C-alpha cells in the first residue's frame, strides 16, 4: 500500500522501499489483532459480569469461549507486536538514534502497561478453574484500564511523529531542551487517542457480534446466539455515533495542525476558500482531479463550518515536502472509505436502537443480520484505512517536518531487506492462516457440542456441571457425535 | 542518572535472561523430547508449566528495547545497524516460537501438533542463540557508532560462544524449573528425567565457559579483564557458587530452593557483565555518559520506572505465586463445552 514510494526511488536510497513495505506489512498484520487485544477483555468481562450477576450459564459459556479465543489471539498479538519494537531499530535506526529520547517515553509507559496487561490476562485466562468466581472476575477488572494505558503510550508516540514538539532543534537539527510532557501531550494526541480507543472497542464489538449474526442467519436462533450477538453489538452500536463525532474532530485537528496532510486526505491542490469536497476521485501530479463525486463548497464547510474557510492546498509547499499525487490519492481513498463505512454503521446502529426502543427486541429483518455479519469485517477494513490515512498522509516525513523517512532508514542493503520481507511474509501468512484455522476449528467444536446438546435435551438429565466445578473428563458429557457436523441440524431451540 | 538507567537495562536483561530464558529452555527440552509417544509427557508438562507465564516473561524484552532507545538512543541505533541480521532473525524466531506454542495447544491432531511443536522448539533454540550472539558482538567491541551490518559483527568466536552459552544457560534454567514443575504436577518420573538434564546442561555451561576463557581473552579483552577482576569477578564467583549450589540441591533431589539459586546464578552473570563493561555501553568506543539521552527524559524514565515497579511488581508476584501454587490451569474442552471433530486423534 506504500508502493508509491517507488515513484520516489530515484532520489531516495534503494532500501527505502523494502523497509517501508516490511514495516507496512507487519504493522498492517498486527493492527488486525489490536482491536481484540484492547477491547475483547472488556467485552468478555461484560459477559462474565452478566453470568455472575444473574447466574447465567449461557453467558458463562460465552465468556469462557471468548477467553479461550483470547488466549490464542493474545499470544499472536504479543509476538507480532514484539516484532514492531525490533523494527524500529532494524528499519528506522536514524529516527530512534536522533529522536528516541524525545518521544520514547510513551513506549516506556506502554511497556509497563503491557506488562500489567499480560499479567492480568494470564491470571484471567488461567484462573477459570480454581480461583473463586468473584476473585477471578475482580482480578480481571483492571484489564481494560491496562489496555487503555498501553494504547496511551503507542498513540502518544504516533501523534508525536505527526505533530512533534517538546524539544528545540540545534544548529545540526538535533533535539535539545527536551520536555517530555510536551512531547507526550502533543496537539494530535487527544483527538487521535480517543478516536483510536473507540475504534478498537467498536471493531471488536462488531466482529464478535458478526460471528453470532452469521449463526443467527443460519437458523441458530437460540439464547446463546442472541446473547452472544446482543452484548458486543450493543457496545459497538452505542459507540458508533460517538466515534463519528470523534473522527470528525480528529479530521478537524488535522486540518489545523497538519494542513498539508489534510490537503492530501481531501486532495486539495490549491489553497483557496469555497473548496469543493471530492468523494473518491484521483489526483494527478499536475493538480487535476479525475473521477469522483464533487460536492461544491463542502470541504470548506466541513473544515471550518463556513464556505469562506480557507483550506491550504498541496501546492503551497515544495513537491519534496508533501505527499506525491499517488500518495495523496491513497490517503484520500483510505479516508473516504473510513468515513463511508462509519456513516453506514451509524445507520445500522440506529436501526438496532430503534427496534430496541420500540420492541425491546432484535430487528427481525434478515437484512439487518446480513449487514451486522459484515460490519465486523468492514470495521477491520476501516481500521486499516484509518492507519493508512494517518501514515501515508504524513509522507514524506517520519517526524513531521523534522525528518524525512529517507533520512531515518537503515543502511542495510536493499537485497537483504527484500529477502527479509519475503521471509516475514511467508511466516506471517503461515501464522495468521494457522491462527484463523485454529479459531475456526474451535468454533466448529463448540457448534457440534451445542447441536449435540440441543438434540439430546430431554433425553439426558439436566446439566450437572457447575460453572466453577472441579476438573471433569476432557470428553464432553453431552451426546455429541463426531459425525454430527451438519451445519443446521437441531440448531434452533 | 544515566548510570542508573544503564543499570535498569542490565537488570531488565537479567530478568529476561532468567524469566524468558526458562521458557526458551523449556522449548529446548521440548525439541529433545523425542517422538510423539515418548515425548508426550514431558511436552505436556512443558505446556502446562509455560502457558500462564511466557507472555509476561516476553514483555521484559520489549521493556529492554524501550529503555534502550529512550535512554541510550545512539547506542540503540548503533546496535541495530551493526547487528541487523541476528536481530532480524531473532525477531522472526520470536514470532515462530510464540505462535507455535500458542497454536499447538488448541490443536487436537497429532500431525498439526507436530508441526507447531517443531516450529516452537526449533525457534526456542535459535532465538536465544542470536540474542546471545548480539551480546557477544557488543562485548567484544565489534559495534561502534556508524558500524554497518556485516557478518563479522556476530559470526565470530566470541559471538558464537556467547550464543551457545545462552542456549546452555536457558537449557539449565529450563530443566531446573521443570524439575520443580514436575514435582508440583505430581509427575514423579519426570522429576528425575529433568534432573538428569539439568545436570547435563550445567556441565555444558561449565565446559563452554572454560572454552570461552581462551577464546575471548584477546577478542573481548576489556570485558575479559572486567570479569576476571574487581566487582565483576566477585559476581562471577557468586554466580559460580549459586550454580554449584543448584547442582548440589538438584543432585540431592531437594527442589525447594534450586529454582532460586539457578536464577541467581544467571542473573549474577549478567550483572557481572554489566560491571565488566563499565563505563561503556559499547566497549570500548561509547560510554554510558556519551550515549545517554536528554536529562529531562532520563529523569522521567526513572519516574515512570519507579511507578511501574510499584504497579507491576505486586502483579508479577501475584502471578508467579498463583502459578506456583497451582491455581492457574487452562480451560479444558469440558469447560468451554467443545466437542471432538472428525479427524481428531488426540
Which positions 306-335 of A are in contact with B (Cβ < 8 Å)? none
Q: Highest-confidence range of A11-25, A294-308, A471-485, B236-250, by mean pLDDT?
A: B236-250
Q: Which residue in chain B has the smallest CA separation from A449?
A: B339
Eight-class DSSP state of B147: P
B130-162 per-residue burial string, b: 16 or more CB within 10 A, e: under 16: bbbbbbbbbbbbbbebebebeeebbebbbbbbb
B341/A448 Cβ within 8 A: yes
- Is the model more confident about A173 or about B91? B91
List of chain A residues whose C-beta atoms are within 8 Å of the C-beta of residue B106 = 68, 72, 438, 441-442
* Least confident window among A428-437, A444-453, B81-90, B172-181: A444-453
> Do the beta carbons of residue B248 and residue B257 sit within 8 Å?
no
Judged by average pLDDT, the poorest of A484-488, B38-42, B54-58, B245-249 is: A484-488
Average pLDDT for A445-470: 62
Q: How confident is residue A492, by pLDDT bands cut at 50, 70 and 90?
A: very low
**Mean pLDDT confidence for A313-329:** 85
Q: B273 with B134: CB under 8 angstroms? A: no
Mark yes or no for CB contact A482/B340 under 8 Å: yes
Q: Which residue has the cell 511466557?
A: B54
Q: pLDDT-based confidence at A208, cuts 50/70/90?
A: very high
Is the predicted pLDDT of residue A488 greater than 50, yes or no?
A: no
Tell me which residue in A71, A122, A438 faces B56 most closely, judged by beta carbons.
A122
For A397-425, write each residue's pLDDT tens digit: 888 888 888 888 887 888 888 988 999 99
Cβ of B337 within 8 Å of Cβ of A453? The answer is yes
pLDDT at A358: 87
Give the closest of A80, A98, A127 to B95, CB-based: A80
> What CATH number should be reported for the domain holding residue B126?
1.20.1630.10
- For residues B194-212, give the mean pLDDT: 90
CB A430 within 8 A of CB B116: no
CB B22 within 8 A of CB B57: yes
Burial-class residue A53 by CB neighbours within 10 Å (0-12, 13-18, 19+): exposed
Across the interface, whether the CB atoms of A100 and B58 are under 8 A apart is answered no
Find chain B residues with C-beta within 8 A of A102's C-beta: 294, 297
What is the band of A459 on the pLDDT scale with cuts at 50, 70, 90? low
Instruction: Give phi and psi for B272, each to the nearest 5.
Output: -60, -40
Tell me which chain B residue has its CA closest to the CA of residue A116.
B312
pLDDT at A286 over 90: no
If contacts are CB pairs under 8 Å, which of residues 264-293 in chain A contact chain B?
Answer: none
**According to the model, what pLDDT value does residue B128 have?**
93
pLDDT(B249) > 50? yes
User: Is residue A88 less than 8 Å (CB to CB) from chain B?
Assistant: yes
Question: How many folded domains does chain B comprise?
Answer: 1
The answer to whether residue B166 sits within a structural domain is yes
User: At B43, is the pLDDT very low, low, confident or very high (cuts 50, 70, 90)?
Assistant: confident
How far does A272 lie from chain B, in Å, by closest CA? 42
> Does the pLDDT of residue B185 top 90, yes or no?
no
Tens digits of residue pLDDT in A216-235: 888 888 888 888 899 999 99
The domain in which residue B95 lies consists of 2-327
Check whether A32 has a pLDDT greater than 70.
yes
Among all chains, which residue has been given the C-alpha cell 511497556? A111
**Residue B181's closest CA among B318, B50, B333?**
B50
The beta-carbon neighbor of A446 closest among B90, B295, B336 is B336
CB A324 within 8 A of CB A8: yes
Residue to mutate among B62, B323, B325, with most A CBs inside 10 A, is: B62
Q: Is it the case that residue A455 has pLDDT exceeding 80?
A: no
Q: Please check the confidence at residue A116 and state whether its pLDDT lies above 50.
A: yes
Look at residue A1 and tell me whether its pLDDT is greater than 80.
no
Check B52 against A122: CB less than 8 A apart. yes
Per-residue model confidence (pLDDT) at position A5: 46
Q: Which residue of A has its CA nearest to B64?
A: A111
At A11 the pLDDT is 59
CA distance A283 to chain B (A): 37
- Name which of A96, A128, A480 is nearest B339 (Cβ-Cβ): A480
Query: Could you say which of B59, B92, B105 has the minimum Cβ distance to residue A423?
Result: B92
Question: Parallel, antiparallel, or unpaired for β A293-295 and A397-399?
Answer: unpaired
pLDDT at B25 over 70: yes
Q: Would you say residue B172 has pLDDT above 90?
A: yes
The mean pLDDT of A276-298, rounded to a whole number, is 82
Least confident of A191-195, A273-277, A354-358, B193-197: A273-277
Residue B335 lies in a domain: no
Q: Which residue among B62, B95, B342 places its CB closest to the CB of A483?
A: B342
For chain B, what is the mean pLDDT?
A: 86
> Which residues numbered 436-465 in A keep a CB inside 8 Å of some CB on B?
438, 441-442, 444-446, 448-450, 452-453, 465
| Among A344-353, B46-55, B285-294, the range of highest mean pLDDT | A344-353
Instruction: Please indicate whether, in this complex, the C-beta atoms of B315 and A119 are within 8 angstroms of each other.
Output: yes
CA quadruple B71, B74, B75, B77: dihedral sign: positive
- Who wins on pLDDT, B152 or A153? A153
Residue A8 has pLDDT above 80, yes or no: no
Report yes or no on B336 lying in a domain: no
Higher pLDDT, B148 or B192: B192
Q: Are B155 and B7 in contact (CB under 8 A)?
A: no
Spatial contact of B135 and B216, defined as CB atoms under 8 Å apart: no
Interface A-B, measured as beta-carbon pairs within 8 A, has a size of: 305
Mutation site for A-interface testing, chosen from B80, B105, B330 by largest number of A Cβ within 10 Å: B80
User: Is residue A200 a contact partner of residue A155, using CB atoms and an 8 Å limit?
Assistant: no
| Closest residue to B81, CB basis, from A111, A410, A452 | A410
pLDDT in tens, A348-368: 999 888 888 888 888 888 888
User: What integer pLDDT is reported at residue B338 of this predicted model?
Assistant: 76
Rounded to an integer, the average pLDDT of B188-208 is 89
Q: Parse chain A into domains and list their residue ranges.
A: 13-188+407-458+478-493
Average pLDDT for A296-308 = 81
For residue A143, give every residue at least 6 positions away whose Cβ sits within 8 Å of its Cβ, in sequence order, or none: A41, A42, A45, A117, A120, A121, A124
Flag whether pLDDT at B266 surpasses 80: yes
What are the start-end ranges of the H helices in A360-413? 366-392, 405-408
Residues 47-66 of A with CB under 8 A from B: 61, 64-65
- Ranking A9-13, A262-266, A294-298 by mean pLDDT, the lowest is A9-13
Residue B338 has its nearest CB partner, among A178, A411, A442, at A442
Is the sign of the CA dihedral B8, B9, B12, B17 positive or negative? negative
How close does chain B come to A4, measured CA to CA in Å?
25
- Residue A461: predicted pLDDT: 46
Q: What is the pLDDT of residue A484?
A: 36
* pLDDT for A462 beyond 50: no
Question: For position A313, what pLDDT does the model report?
Answer: 83
pLDDT at B104: 86
Pairwise CB contact (< 8 Å): B335 & A485: no
CB-CB: which of B59, B71, B91 is closest to A83? B91
CA closest to B88 among chain A residues = A90
Phi, psi for B339 (deg, rounded to 5): -100, 170
Q: Which of residues 142-181 of A touch B (CB under 8 A)?
A: 167, 175-176, 178-180
Amino acid at each position: 500500500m506504500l508502493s508509491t514510494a517507488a515513484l520516489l526511488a530515484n532520489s531516495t536510497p534503494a532500501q527505502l522501499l523494502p523497509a517501508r513495505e516490511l514495516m507496512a506489512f507487519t504493522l498492517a498484520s498486527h493492527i488486525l489483532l489490536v482491536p481484540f487485544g484492547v477491547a475483547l477483555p472488556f467485552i468478555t468481562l461484560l459477559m462474565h459480569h452478566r453470568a455472575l450477576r444473574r447466574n447465567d450459564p449461557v453467558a458463562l459459556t460465552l465468556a469462557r469461549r471468548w477467553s479461550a479465543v483470547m488466549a490464542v489471539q493474545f499470544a499472536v498479538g504479543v509476538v507480532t507486536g514484539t516484532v514492531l519494537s525490533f523494527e524500529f531499530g532494524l528499519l528506522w535506526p536514524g529516527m530512534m538514534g536522533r529522536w528516541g529520547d524525545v518521544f520514547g517515553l510513551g513506549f516506556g509507559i506502554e511497556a509497563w502497561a503491557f506488562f500489567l496487561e499480560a499479567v492480568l490476562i494470564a491470571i484471567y485466562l488461567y484462573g477459570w478453574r480454581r480461583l473463586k468466581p468473584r476473585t477471578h472476575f475482580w482480578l480481571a477488572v483492571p484489564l481494560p484500564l491496562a489496555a487503555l494505558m498501553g494504547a496511551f503510550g503507542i498513540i502518544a508516540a504516533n501523534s508525536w511523529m505527526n505533530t512533534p514538539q517538546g524539544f528545540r532543534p540545534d544548529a545540526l537539527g538535533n533535539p535539545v531542551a527536551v520536555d517530555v510532557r510536551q512531547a507526550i501531550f502533543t496537539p494530535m494526541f487527544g483527538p487521535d487517542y480517543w478516536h483510536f480507543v473507540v475504534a478498537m472497542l467498536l471493531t471488536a464489538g462488531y466482529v464478535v457480534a458478526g460471528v453470532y449474526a452469521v449463526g443467527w442467519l443460519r437458523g441458530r436462533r437460540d439464547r446463546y446466539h442472541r446473547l452472544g450477538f446482543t452484548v458486543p453489538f450493543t457496545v459497538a452500536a452505542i459507540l458508533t455515533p460517538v466515534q463519528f463525532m470523534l473522527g470528525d474532530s480528529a479530521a478537524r485537528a488535522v486540518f489545523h495542525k497538519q494542513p498539508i496532510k489534510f490537503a492530501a486526505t481531501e486532495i486539495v491542490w490549491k489553497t483557496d476558500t469555497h473548496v469543493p469536497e471530492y468523494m473518491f476521485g484521483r489526483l494527478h501530479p499536475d493538480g487535476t482531479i479525475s473521477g469522483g463525486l464533487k460536492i461544491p463548497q463542502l470541504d470548506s464547510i466541513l473544515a471550518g463550518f463556513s464556505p469562506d474557510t480557507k483550506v491550504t492546498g498541496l501546492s503551497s509547499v515544495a513537491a519534496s515536502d508533501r505527499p506525491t499525487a499517488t500518495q495523496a490519492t491513497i490517503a484520500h481513498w483510505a479516508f473516504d472509505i473510513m468515513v463511508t463505512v462509519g456513516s453506514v454503521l451509524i445507520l445500522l446502529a440506529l436501526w438496532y436502537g430503534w427496534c430496541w426502543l420500540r420492541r425491546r427486541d432484535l430487528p427481525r429483518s434478515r437484512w439487518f443480520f446480513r449487514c451486522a455479519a459484515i460490519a465486523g469485517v468492514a470495521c477491520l477494513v476501516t481500521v486499516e484505512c484509518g492507519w493508512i490515512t494517518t501514515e501515508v498522509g504524513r509522507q514524506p516525513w517520519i517526524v513531521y517536518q523534522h525528518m524525512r523517512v529517507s533520512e531515518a532508514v537503515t543502511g542495510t542493503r536493499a537485497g537483504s531487506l527484500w529477502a527479509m520481507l519475503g521471509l516475514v511474509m511467508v511466516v506471517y501468512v503461515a501464522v495468521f492462516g494457522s491462527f484463523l484455522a485454529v479459531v475456526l476449528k474451535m468454533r466448529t467444536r463448540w457448534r457440534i457440542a451445542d447441536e449435540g446438546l440441543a438434540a439430546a435435551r430431554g433425553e439426558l438429565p439436566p446439566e450437572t456441571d457447575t460453572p466453577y466445578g472441579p476438573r471433569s473428563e476432557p470428553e464432553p458429557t453431552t451426546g455429541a457425535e463426531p459425525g454430527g457436523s451438519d451445519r443446521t441440524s437441531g440448531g434452533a431451540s | 542518572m544515566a548510570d542508573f538507567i544503564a543499570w535498569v537495562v542490565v537488570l531488565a536483561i537479567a530478568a529476561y535472561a532468567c524469566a524468558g530464558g526458562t521458557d526458551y529452555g523449556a522449548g529446548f527440552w521440548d525439541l529433545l523430547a523425542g517422538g510423539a509417544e515418548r515425548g508426550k509427557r514431558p511436552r505436556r508438562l512443558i505446556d502446562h508449566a509455560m502457558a500462564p507465564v511466557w507472555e509476561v516473561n516476553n514483555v521484559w524484552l520489549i521493556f529492554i528495547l524501550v529503555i534502550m532507545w529512550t535512554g541510550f538512543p545512539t547506542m540503540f541505533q548503533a546496535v541495530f545497524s551493526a547487528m541487523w541480521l541476528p536481530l532480524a532473525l531473532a525477531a522472526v524466531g520470536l514470532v515462530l516460537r510464540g505462535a507455535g506454542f500458542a497454536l499447538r495447544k488448541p490443536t487436537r491432531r497429532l500431525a498439526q501438533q507436530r508441526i507447531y511443536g517443531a516450529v516452537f522448539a526449533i525457534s526456542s533454540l535459535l532465538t536465544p542463540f542470536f540474542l546471545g550472539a548480539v551480546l557477544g558482538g557488543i562485548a567484544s567491541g565489534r559495534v561502534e557508532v556508524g558500524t554497518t551490518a556485516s557478518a563479522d559483527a556476530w559470526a565470530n568466536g566470541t559471538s558464537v560462544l556467547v550464543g551457545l552459552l545462552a542456549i546452555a544457560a536457558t537449557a539449565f534454567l529450563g530443566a531446573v524449573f521443570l524439575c520443580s514443575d514436575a514435582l508440583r504436577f505430581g509427575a514423579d518420573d519426570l522429576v528425575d528425567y529433568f534432573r538428569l538434564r539439568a545436570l547435563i546442561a550445567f556441565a555444558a555451561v561449565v565446559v563452554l565457559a572454560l572454552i570461552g576463557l581462551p577464546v575471548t581473552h584477546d577478542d573481548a579483552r576489556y570485558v575479559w579483564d572486567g570479569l576476571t577482576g574487581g566487582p565483576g569477578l566477585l559476581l562471577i564467583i557468586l554466580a559460580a557458587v549459586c550454580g554449584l549450589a543448584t547442582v548440589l540441591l538438584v543432585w540431592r533431589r531437594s527442589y525447594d530452593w534450586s529454582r532460586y539459586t539457578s536464577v541467581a546464578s544467571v542473573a549474577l552473570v549478567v550483572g557481572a557483565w554489566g560491571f565488566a563493561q563499565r563505563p561503556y555501553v559499547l566497549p570500548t568506543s561509547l560510554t554510558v555518559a556519551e550515549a545517554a539521552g536528554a536529562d529531562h527524559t532520563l529523569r522521567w524514565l526513572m519516574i515512570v520506572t519507579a511507578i511501574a515497579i510499584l504497579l507491576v511488581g505486586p502483579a508479577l508476584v501475584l502471578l508467579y505465586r498463583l502459578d506456583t501454587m497451582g491455581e492457574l490451569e487452562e480451560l479444558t474442552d469440558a469447560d468451554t463445552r467443545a466437542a471432538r471433530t472428525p479427524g481428531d486423534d488426540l
